[in-house]
Each structure stands twice: as C-alpha cells, then as structure tokens.
Amino acid sequence: MTEGIDTASTAPTAKAAVVTGASTGIGEATVRALRNEGWTVFAVARRAERLEALAVQTGAIALPADVTDDADVARLLEAVSQAGGIDTLINIAGGARGADKVAESKTEDWDWMYGVNVLGTMKLTRAFLPMLRACGGGTVLNLTSTAGLSAYEGGGGYNAAKFAQHALTGALRLEEAEHNLRVIEVAPGMVQTEEFSLNRLGDQGAADKVYAGVEKPLTAGDVADVVRYAVTAPHHVNLDQIIIRPVAQASNFKVIRKS
C-alpha cells in the first residue's frame, strides 16, 4: 500500500478532476494542461516524489496511490471526498511490457498489463461512479490506444489489455448515459514519451528505434491538449472516441521513416 496521501493543500473548485498516471508522460502533461485551465487536479501515481515535484510546480494535489490496490483506491476515494469531490475522472495509468509473440509470451507481463490497464481503470471508475453521478454532469475519460483497435504481431498482451479497456469504455457509456455521465475514449497512436517504450522494451537503444526516422511523433503535450479539449467542451458534447496519430503514422502498420 502506498503511504502519504495529504489533502490539506487546497479545496476543489467547480471543476475538479482525478488524473491517474500523473507522475510521467501523458498523465503529467494532462495535470499541467488542466491546472493551466484553473481546474483543481488530484494527481495520482505510485511515485510520491515525482508527484510532489509536480504539485510544487503546478499547484496540483499529490495523492500517491496504486490504482490496482483495493486499499489504496479506497483511501484515494476518501481523500478526494474529504477535499470536496470531483466531476471528472481521467484514467491514464497504463502501459505495455514486452513485445513477444503469443508463443513466447510471459505470463507476468500479461498479468501486469491487464492489471493496470483494465482492472485499474475498472477499480477507479467503480469507486468514483457514485460521486460522478451525484454531481449531475460527470465525465469519465479513458486513455486507451490504437493498439486496442487493431492487433499487430508482438502486441498480443498489450492488444488484449487495450481491447478490453476499449470494450469497458463502450459498455460504461451505454450504462451511464441515463445518469448524464459522458464517457470519452482517447486512443493515441505513436507518442514519444520519456518512459513508455523504455518500460516496454527494457532497453534505451531498443526504445529509440521505435521512433527512429519518424518525423514529429506525437508528444505527451499533444495528447494532453486533446484530453483537455474533450473534458472542457460543453457537457452535452460527448466525443465518444478520439483517435490521434502523427501524420507520419497512417496506421498501426504504416509508418513513414526518413533515413
């Protein structure tokens, strides 16, 4: 269990969000984007020291927690409730491990990917749904991936996890429309961030090759700006699914690389 949740910083304003995966990459960039819009943001991730640095820089409220841990999720819900609650939940925590074909797949990699991408999203959403329903105009945004829309060789575990998260998002939209809850899916393609490919492949050289020759892959800020737009649009506007790729990536199977 992660220790150190502290909600003494500030009280929520009319627009308040929990953002998971906030210690790096798209999650961190989303915290910055929403804070620039004046939102109260509860920044959630496992790495407390990175969250504290982000809180100092942006004024976000750092809430260290593991989204796959039931006790952490309960403590997170209690902390946010005591601080005044939210109207928006942004599930960004996730990631990939390994690029093995199914025949060589590692059970521990698949367990981890399913746990953080699917069960983590489910656990946070399940915990905060009563609060989001009660506010009368709540939003859930799930960051999935184009890997959840089209399978590719060596992607079986990540494809499976992201396809499941995509399906979860679609089911949630159908179930919660009657509660005036909008459910948004943002599915990025190739995004060059500090850690994603490094964590997946375990080697900086291999991670660099993913983006080699690609002119202007997406940045974390590019995706965060789309997330910001989607959740700040008038509430009756539901951007059900947003696919975002760099121009150089026409599909999961066609990437233009310059020598």
Where in the sequence numbering do the catalytic residues fall? 158
SS3 state of residue 43? strand
Mapped onto helix, strand or coil, the DSSP state of residue 251 is: strand
Query: What does the alpha-carbon distance between residue 208 and residue 231 come to, in Å, rounded to a whole number?
Result: 32
In DSSP terms, 251 is beta-bridged to 254
| CA–CA distance, 137 with 134 (Å, rounded to integer) | 8
Residues facing residue 142 across a β-bridge: 91, 185
Cβ(192)–Cβ(223) below 8 Å: no
- On the CB side of 224, how many CA atoms lie within 13 Å of its CA? 23
